[in-house]
């Protein structure tokens, strides 16, 4: 049995949820406010960040902290279906793109759009800055351009098959998409890719997420958008 | 044969150098200015960031981008000596601390101290801000406190043996130490740990690094400091 401590629109919590669903692990989700974690949560993760996975499937309960560790743990203990290719070149390409989204996309898109539109609202830090939102949207277009270039050559971001790279990219993009910021129609290859991902059974629970007082973009949950 | 594209005081480049040395891989180092990469470097890593490893030891040359991928690649293709424990709980604890340093230490210490004292200088962005340096030093003390707590219970940061967690932490701390910002004497357990790490043969080449015009702290290369 698994317990995942998460916040619905945290891209890393979403990575953990997607990986658990792909690996067909039954999980109990426990809501955690990332910006104001409960005291008891620091016992699980002294850094105070989501996601944290409690893996109670074995004899000794395990606490796995942060998405990178959760994804690696699931891949190592539940290899089917694989989210990493078996050859070193394929694994390196998946990991290159995972880092691309976890670092570069995070610094250039999340830090602008999620911060202005989501974190400021949740933490009462004032109203969003239109200039910063514009800058984040420009960066987002550059990322969609790069994804389009990759997807012209292959069905998955990192290779012929769905991998951890697609999962991580979709987890990040889905948060920005909730806020209505992804100009899908200008990027048909990326749109077709995201359409395929939205149809995966593992993605379904993410599409049901609703933040009180902040409804998603009209097309957020549409499989055909 | 390995070629590593690196910048000497980039904590992630240092992680790759340390892992290569621990695994006893002969490597040719190629200097890359992170803030102004050569055009050809973007062919290796479109994100333009160091480190990038060219692994020419097999039949097909491989390009491995970014420290997480390089560390994972070396661990998978050259398991001896191991930098990850073999049990899931041990691996999770190592990965928790790797993420702690790569994200939290980076955001709270590097973003203040390396940015003010190193990046601003390299990129001619003006003189360092004393208030920001003070804030970075306060954060650094909090991290050293946390490390001391861990090291009271065990010899390595993540467990009884030297692991990827020690390697990653030492790579980050060694950059701040070059700049003279680590108050070692106030943290005897962390100091004893760093002393042991400095004595590892794999660490030696890092202690020889000298940035033109910016000499290291007096004690930087001393094994007994």
Asked if B95's CB is within 8 angstroms of A47's CB, the reply is no
DSSP 8-state secondary structure symbol assigned to residue A215: P
Which residue among B47, B76, B88 places its CB closest to the CB of A88?
B76
Chain B positions touching A105 (Cβ under 8 A) are none
Query: Is the backbone peptide bond immediately before B217 cis, with ω within 30 degrees of 0?
Result: no
Nearest to B60 among A55, A65, A89 (CB): A89
Question: A2-77 is classed in which CATH architecture?
Answer: 3-Layer(aba) Sandwich (3.40)
- Run of H or E residues at B92: helix B88-99
Q: What is the 3-state secondary structure (H, E, C) of B130-154?
A: HHHHHHHHHHHHHHHHHHHHHHHHC
Q: What is the dihedral of CA A30, A33, A39, A40, to 10 degrees?
A: 10
Mean pLDDT for the stretch of residues A171-183: 98
Q: What pLDDT is stored for residue B134 in this prediction? A: 97
What is the distance between the alpha carbons of residues B130 and A83, in angstroms, rounded to a whole number?
46
Residues 6+ apart with CB under 8 A from A82: A75
How does DSSP classify residue A119? I
pLDDT of residue A153: 92
- In this prediction, residues B52-67 reach a mean pLDDT of 96
Computed over every residue of chain A, the mean pLDDT equals 96
pLDDT for B35 equals 86
Query: What mean pLDDT do residues A161-187 have?
Result: 98
Q: Which residues of B touch A77 (CB under 8 A)?
A: 88
Mean pLDDT for the stretch of residues A137-154: 97
- Pull the structure tokens for residue A216: 């998603």
Taking only the tens place, the pLDDT of each residue in B122-144 is 899 999 999 999 999 999 999 99
**What percent of chain B has a predicted confidence (pLDDT) above 70?**
100
* DSSP secondary structure, A126-165, as one string: -PPPHHHHHHHHHHHHHHHHHHHHHHHH-SSSSSSS--HH
Q: What is the pLDDT of residue B91?
A: 97
**Nearest to B208, CA basis, from B39, B21, B42:** B21
Q: What is the pLDDT of residue B195?
A: 97
User: What is the least distance, in Å, from the CA of B62 to any CA of chain A?
Assistant: 6
**Residues A13-35: what's their mean pLDDT?**
96
- For residue B223, give how far its alpha carbon lies from the nearest alpha carbon of chain A (Å): 31
Of the partner residues B45, B62, B99, the one whose CB lies closest to the CB of residue A88: B62
> Residue A108 belongs to what H/E stretch?
none
Best of B66, B79, B85, B100 to disrupt the A interface by mutation (most A CBs within 10 Å)? B66
Q: Tokens for B98? A: 């790797």
Note the pLDDT of residue B71: 98
**Contact: B69, A96; criterion CB under 8 Å:** yes
Token pair of A137 as six digits: 């949207």
> Reduced to 3 states, what is the DSSP secondary structure of residue A60?
coil
Confidence of residue B224 (pLDDT cuts 50, 70, 90): confident
The residue with tokens 């030492």 is: B170
At B176 the pLDDT is 98
Average pLDDT, chain B: 96
State mean pLDDT over A28-48. Answer: 93
Verify cis geometry, omega within 30 degrees of 0, for the bond prior to B81.
yes
**Strand pairing category for B52-55 and B62-65:** antiparallel
Residues A190, A147: contact at Cβ < 8 Å?
A: yes
The gap between the terminal CA atoms of chain A, to the nearest Å, is 35
Residue A34 reports pLDDT greater than 90: no
Give the gap in angstroms from C-alpha A96 to the nearest C-alpha of chain B: 6
Just give the CATH number of A88-207: 1.20.1050.10
Q: What is the DSSP string of B28-52?
A: EEEE--TTS--HHHHHH-TT--S-E
- Whether the per-residue pLDDT at A35 is higher than 90: the answer is no
pLDDT category of residue A183 using cuts at 50, 70 and 90: very high
Domain spans of chain B, in order of start: 2-77, 88-207
Q: Please, which pLDDT band fits residue B34 given cuts at 50, 70 and 90?
A: confident
Portion 64-93 of A in contact with B at CB < 8 A: 64-66, 68-69, 72-73, 76-77, 88-89, 91-92
Asked if the Cβ–Cβ distance from A62 to B92 is below 8 Å, we say: yes
Inform me whether the C-beta atom of residue B148 falls under 8 Å from chain A C-beta atoms. Answer: no
């Amino acid at each position: 049995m698994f317990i995942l401590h998460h916040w619905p629109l945290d891209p890393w919590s979403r990575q953990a949820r997607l990986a658990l669903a792909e690996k067909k692990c039954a999980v109990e989700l426990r809501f955690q406010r990332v910006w104001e974690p409960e005291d008891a949560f620091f016992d699980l993760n002294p850094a105070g960040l989501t996601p944290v996975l409690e893996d109670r499937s074995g004899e000794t309960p395990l606490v796995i902290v942060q998405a990178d560790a959760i994804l690696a743990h699931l891949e190592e203990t539940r290899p089917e279906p694989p989210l990493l290719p078996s050859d070193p070149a394929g694994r390196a390409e998946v990991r290159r793109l995972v880092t691309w989204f976890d670092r570069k996309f995070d610094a250039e898109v999340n830090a602008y759009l999620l911060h202005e539109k989501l974190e400021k609202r949740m933490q009462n830090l004032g109203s969003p800055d239109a200039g910063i939102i514009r800058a984040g949207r420009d960066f987002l277009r550059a990322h969609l351009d790069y994804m389009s270039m990759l997807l012209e050559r292959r069905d998955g971001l990192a290779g012929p098959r769905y991998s951890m790279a697609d999962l991580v990219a979709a987890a990040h993009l889905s948060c920005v998409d909730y806020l209505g910021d992804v100009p899908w129609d200008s990027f048909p290859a990326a749109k077709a890719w995201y359409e395929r991902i939205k149809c995966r059974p593992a993605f379904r629970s993410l599409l049901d997420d609703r933040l009180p007082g902040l409804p998603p973009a009209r097309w957020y949950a549409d499989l055909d958008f």
